[in-house]
Amino acid sequence: MFFIYLMAIEDEEERKSLEALYYKYRHQCMHMVRRYTDDKDEAEDMVQEVFVRIIKHKDEYLRLSESNFEALLVTIVKNLGIDDYRRRSRIVLASDTYEEQIISKTLPTDRKAILQDQLKSVMDEIHKYDEKTQLIMYYKSLLIPTKVIADMMEMPYKTVENKIYRVRKELKEKLNGDDFFD
């Protein structure tokens, strides 16, 4: 796809410059993209999408210094990775639907009732936290890696990791050592 856009550029010098940038940075971009996907073909598509975005704004980006251009690549890759992850996840934020997803319909009724009570207690406690913390815990409950959550929330990794640790610790204490988290 990148090369189709590249061939559409009339100025030969710009075309060669963009092609040189592609060959210079494609492996670095591929390495960054692989943090977001394990599928090699999908990763290659994402790398090409990065360079398509660069072509669309070539007048601005070709004037950047090398270090600024590399920072731009990191930003574009991060945003593409987050967009791709969100597109694949299609997270439903309605808590009733979420509870149904967690509690399997194949469980015995008595066990299902216990789990629903435990989940309600946990959800009630989580709703007492600020909105960012609630969202972090929601993403974590969906087994989204902490690094991806940090990128999605545009927060430092350590901050997200500490919030998760503190909330889980407080929830365990408030719920009297309930084995819900283990």
Give pLDDT tens digits along the chain (182 positions).
Answer: 666 766 777 778 888 888 888 889 889 988 888 887 778 888 888 888 888 888 888 888 878 888 888 888 888 988 888 787 777 665 444 444 445 555 555 556 666 677 777 777 778 888 888 888 988 888 888 778 888 888 888 899 999 999 999 999 988 888 775 555 54
Domains and CATH numbers, the chain: 2-89 (1.10.1740), 95-181 (1.10.10)
- Nearest Cα to Cα of residue 63 among 129, 18, 27, 24: 18
